[in-house]
Structures are given as C-alpha cells and as structure tokens.
Amino acid sequence: MTIRFSILDQSIINPGENPSETLQNTVELAQLAEQLGFHRFWVAEHHNSDEIAGAAPEVLLGYIAAKTNSIKLASGGVMLQHYSPYKVAEQFHVLENLAPGRISLGVGKAPGGFQPATDALQKDFAKPVRTFDAKLEELVELISHKSTTTIEAKPLPETNPEIFLLGGSVASAKQAAELGISFVFAYFINGEESVLKEARVTFDQFQINQDASFQLAPIVVVAETKSAADRHIPERESIKVELADGRRVNLGSREQAEAYVKDIDQSYRFITQRIGAITGTKQEVGGEIKRLSEKYNIQDFVILTPIKSTEIKRYSYQLLSESIKEEVVHG
C-alpha cells in the first residue's frame, strides 16, 4: 500500500512574528507541500488565541486555493458547534466551485477555544443549542444532497466535498462510520495505541461507505538526529477536561487546562493522556510510519509539526518527504 502524507498547519505564531506573517507562512508552507508532493493541506480553527492565528479556515482555504494549483485542501476542522450547518455547507460549496476536486470539509467536536470565545460565538443562538450530533447529521445531508428539507446549500458544485470527522475516541470513529464519512484519529492528542486499535476496529465494524477512509494524525518531527528532533517536543502528555454535563475538551497542557476551567461553572476532572509523537531521523520516522500503516491498515497520515521556527519546520517536512520515498513508498 502506498502511503500518502498530508500536512495539518495550525498557524502557530512564532516568537517575534505578527499574525500577518504567520498566516503568510502557512500559505508558503502549502506551496512547499505542493512542491514536495504531499497529498492534502489542512488548516485549523482556534479562537481568541495569542499563540495561533488560524481562526477562520474557510477564509484561509480560499486564499490558499488561489495561491496553489493542485494540492487538495481541507479544514482541520470547522468547529461545528458554533455554526449553522447550512452556512458551513454553503461556504464549502463555494470553495469547491472555486477549486473543483480540491476541497474537503473536516469537522471537529471541540470548541476551539476557551469559554469566553464560545460565549461570543454562540451568544445569538437560541437555548438550548442543538447538539453537535444533530448538526453533523444535517451537514452530511446538505453536502451529499440528501437533505429532507426543500432547501439546498447553493451554489451546488459538480463534485461534493469529502467530509471528515476529526476526533480522538472510539465513539467518534463509530459516529463517522455510521454516517458514511471519513475519520481522522487525532493521535497527536490521544496517543494511546490501544485506543487507536479499538477505534480502527470499530470504524471497520460500523462502516457503511466503503469509500470512506480511516486516517491518522500524529505529531511528527524529523531531524538529522533523534535528539535534535526530540528537543522540539518537550511535553509528551495532553490533558482532557471532562465536564459534569458530559462534554470533553482536549487541551494541550495542564497550564492550558487550568486556564480553561477558570471560566467553567460546573464540576470537572482532568484526564492525562499520552500524545502520539513520532520523532527521529527520516529513516526512523519512515520506519515507524510504515509499522503503523501495516498494523492498522492506514494509507493516509495527516502530519502536525508544531515547531516554532519556520525554517526548521520546513526542513522537517523536506526530510519527511524524503522518508516517504526512501522508507515508505519503496520500503
């Protein structure tokens, strides 16, 4: 099986940068990804952040589409809890009409920010807000043109954008499979291989659309030596906050988790989970990617490289593209 690599870029603001420079770096990284032969370029959604500039993937994707020629593009992902499924479908139909055959719609369950940002995004919503599950079902119907309502999300494109659910749990894998959409397992958040194994089995068990795929999103850093790569991933754990109302929010660090719960008015608990990080030389990284691919029957890997240096990040992706050729495709 030929392995395909894609890039997930969060538009992290590097030291000394302003948001304009960061977003331009994301555009240039997409251009590099196209040159290196990566399959797809994903952009994220985060709100009210001093560290991340990517707040509106549907806008950024349109600009990147105009600055590239052939690479596939995706949101990674739209935080659907904040939005009307109808409006999201319209946006991605417009994007698909502008860049036919290149646009995919990745959807996430998380809020993409702390409670004040969620309140600002949802303050005009009638309470109680519809569940994420109900919104996702409506979105799938609108994109696949199977809506039971009389309204359509025009302008309809000739081809439908592929829909992905992004998540780090077995339940999310099951939900995607039952809806007939593809799933990206957020290994960079939940790196427990036992959970990955169960999610993969569950997706296959409940899959109703054989064209839907199970993809893996790990953190990957490639360098000349493993020690050089490891320096860029000082933390190997993430924190999940489980709220009394059943919601679960993944945060990067305990510091971020503690900041998040300051705005929460219900009980909660912290769950520590290992992140899925693959670091080393191109031979070491290529070998581990090949192992995961063969063990879990995964063709597509969505790579997150959170290095706070534009040049070092670009070099890591360059080495990764060489690992594809040397260790994976022909390995």
Q: What is the model's pTM?
A: 0.90
CA 123 to CA 121: how far, in whole Å? 6
Q: 91-128, pLDDT tens digit by residue?
A: 999 999 999 999 999 998 865 554 555 664 565 666 65
Q: 268-306, pLDDT tens digit by residue?
A: 888 888 999 999 999 999 999 999 999 999 999 999 999
Please give the pLDDT value at position 330.
35
Residue 201 lies in a domain: yes
From first to last of its 331 residues, the chain has per-residue pLDDT tens of 789 999 999 999 999 999 999 999 999 999 999 999 999 999 999 888 888 999 999 999 999 999 999 999 999 989 998 889 999 999 999 999 999 999 999 998 865 554 555 664 565 666 657 889 999 999 999 999 877 777 899 999 999 999 999 999 999 999 999 999 999 999 999 999 999 999 999 999 999 999 999 999 999 999 999 999 999 998 888 787 888 887 777 776 777 778 778 878 888 888 888 999 999 999 999 999 999 999 999 999 999 999 999 999 999 999 999 986 654 443 3
Based on the fold, state whether residues 147 and 261 are members of the same structural domain: no
Residue 232 lies in a domain: no
Based on the fold, state whether residues 270 and 286 are members of the same structural domain: no
Structural domain boundaries enclosing 26: 4-227+276-329
> Sign of the C-alpha dihedral, residues 257, 259, 264, 269?
positive
Based on the fold, state whether residues 144 and 159 are members of the same structural domain: yes
Full DSSP string of 234-282: ---EEEEEEETTS-EEEESSHHHHHHHHTT--S-EEEEEEE--EEEE-H
Based on the fold, state whether residues 192 and 50 are members of the same structural domain: yes
Q: C-alpha distances in angstroms, 192 versus 7, 112, 198, 229, 297? A: 21, 22, 10, 21, 17
Based on the fold, state whether residues 257 and 147 are members of the same structural domain: no
